[in-house]
């Protein structure tokens, strides 16, 4: 048996050398749900099937949330031939059964591993087993791999992720590769042809604007993620996305903060990976996550990450060009007080020379204004140099419009 395994892996390696990531995946940012933010390592088969059923029943699947990703601590031990096995207590039916359960419901299954000797939670890592693990994932019917970066002393990050990317290609199954390198080695500069997305910084935690610092690592707030991603928009596009981490919507922030968090992830063309317990979410959380008009901004096929145009009166003004000539426009209030702002559209004539090469041309073009949170039309822009409207932006909240080209 070991000789057969060795032959299979040698053949896979030969096929995988120089191979690229699955080219047809990630044309728009990935959408789904992950275990980590809510459950961390306290996971089991019943949680996954329960979440899967809720994604279908709630309508989340139908608006695009299709990946269900099992993060760290699903692992058991490797068998005598080196193939990773799931924890039989947590997943008694095995991963193939679970993948089939999801596929029958129009969903996809993701798992987690690590480039190092062990995962962040102390489970077996993929180092030295990349082609075996990829082959096992393909046998199970896995659709998505999050590859972390713990326990990787003296390992070259580009080489490590390139190796796993080639292994996934050689497995014969198209598997989305989500690189979780934390931005330490600037993956946006070298990972475009290796993975479909890459983390830009530390893990997020459930806070709007407070960084959490520990002796050996830190956790980003929502605003930390936005500030970091603001500098990286030129690296994102169809098939290769900046990933500021999973969503914390529904995990304890205020409704205003949840709304701002979700809006900004859509403006930044970020992956929309939910992290709350969908089985017990509130009506307000459900409405945020099912906002089809904002999801359309995130999933827009032009694939351009939004730009932070300016800051005035403590408010951040963001624009995102869309495929049909429209623009998404967001006023983000990161302050702790409500702010009233008088909009003169002529202040926002911009040319996106960095990425899209598009211009708003408010001095010539009139746009219809659609509020993406009230889902109502709200007049139109003006070509005149005057205050056209006044808006109140609540503390830690947003005003978000789709500017519809006439």
Active site members: 148, 203
> Residue 148: helix, strand or coil by DSSP?
strand
- C-alpha span between 211 and 224 (Å, rounded): 7
DSSP-assigned letter for residue 351: B
- C-alpha span between 87 and 137 (Å, rounded): 15
74 and 25 in contact (C-beta within 8 Å)? no
- C-alpha span between 240 and 197 (Å, rounded): 5
**Neighbouring residues of 245: CB distance < 8 A, sequence distance ≥ 6:** 199, 201, 203, 204, 220, 225
DSSP-assigned letter for residue 187: G
**The dihedral formed by the CA atoms of 90, 95, 98 and 104, expressed in degrees to the nearest 10:** 180
Q: Where are the beta strands (DSSP E) in 72-194?
A: 75-78, 84-86, 108-114, 144-148, 176-179
What is the phi/psi pair of residue 52, to 5°?
-60, -45
DSSP character string of 235-281: G-BTTBEEE-----TTSSS-HHHHHHHHHHHHHTT--EEE-S-GGG-
Question: Tokens 């326990």, residue?
Answer: 151
Give the pair of three-digit tokens for residue 343. 């909009």
Give the pair of three-digit tokens for residue 167. 């292994």
């Amino acid at each position: 048996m070991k000789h057969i395994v060795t032959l299979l892996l040698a053949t896979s390696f030969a096929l995988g050398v120089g191979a690229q990531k699955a080219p047809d995946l990630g044309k728009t940012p990935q959408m789904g749900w992950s275990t980590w933010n809510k459950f961390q390592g306290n996971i089991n088969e019943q949680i996954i099937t329960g979440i899967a059923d809720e994604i279908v029943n709630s309508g989340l699947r139908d608006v695009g949330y299709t990946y269900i990703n099992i993060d760290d601590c699903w692992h058991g031990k490797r068998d005598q031939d080196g193939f990773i096995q799931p924890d039989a207590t947590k997943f008694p039916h095995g991963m193939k059964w679970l993948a089939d359960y999801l596929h029958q419901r129009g969903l996809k299954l993701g798992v987690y591993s690590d480039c190092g000797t062990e995962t962040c939670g102390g489970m077996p890592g993929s180092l030295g087993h990349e082609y075996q693990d990829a082959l096992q994932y393909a046998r199970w019917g896995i659709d998505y791999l999050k590859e972390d970066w713990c326990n990787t002393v003296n390992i070259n990050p580009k080489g490590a992720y390139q190796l796993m990317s080639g292994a996934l290609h050689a497995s014969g199954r198209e598997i989305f590769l989500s690189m979780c390198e934390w931005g330490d080695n600037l993956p946006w500069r070298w990972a475009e042809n290796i993975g479909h997305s890459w983390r830009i910084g530390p893990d997020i935690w459930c806070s709007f604007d407070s960084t959490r610092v520990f002796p050996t690592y830190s956790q980003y707030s929502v605003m930390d993620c936005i500030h970091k991603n603001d500098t990286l928009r030129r690296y994102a596009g169809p098939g290769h996305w900046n990933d500021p981490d999973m969503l914390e919507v529904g995990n304890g922030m205020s409704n205003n903060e949840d709304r701002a968090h979700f809006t900004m992830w859509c403006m930044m063309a970020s992956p929309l990976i939910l992290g709350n317990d969908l089985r017990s979410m509130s009506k307000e959380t459900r409405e945020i996550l099912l906002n089809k008009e904002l999801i359309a901004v995130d999933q827009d096929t032009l694939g351009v990450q939004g730009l932070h145009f300016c800051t005035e009166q403590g408010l951040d003004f963001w624009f995102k060009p869309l495929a049909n000539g429209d623009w998404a426009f967001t006023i983000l209030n990161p302050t702790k007080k409500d702010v009233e702002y008088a909009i003169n559209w002529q202040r926002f004539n911009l040319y996106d020379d960095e990425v899209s090469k598009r211009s708003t041309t408010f001095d010539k073009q009139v746009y219809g204004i659609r509020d993406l949170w009230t889902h109502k039309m709200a007049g139109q822009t003006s070509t005149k140099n005057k205050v056209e409207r006044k808006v109140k932006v609540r503390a830690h909240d947003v005003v978000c419009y789709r500017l519809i080209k006439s």
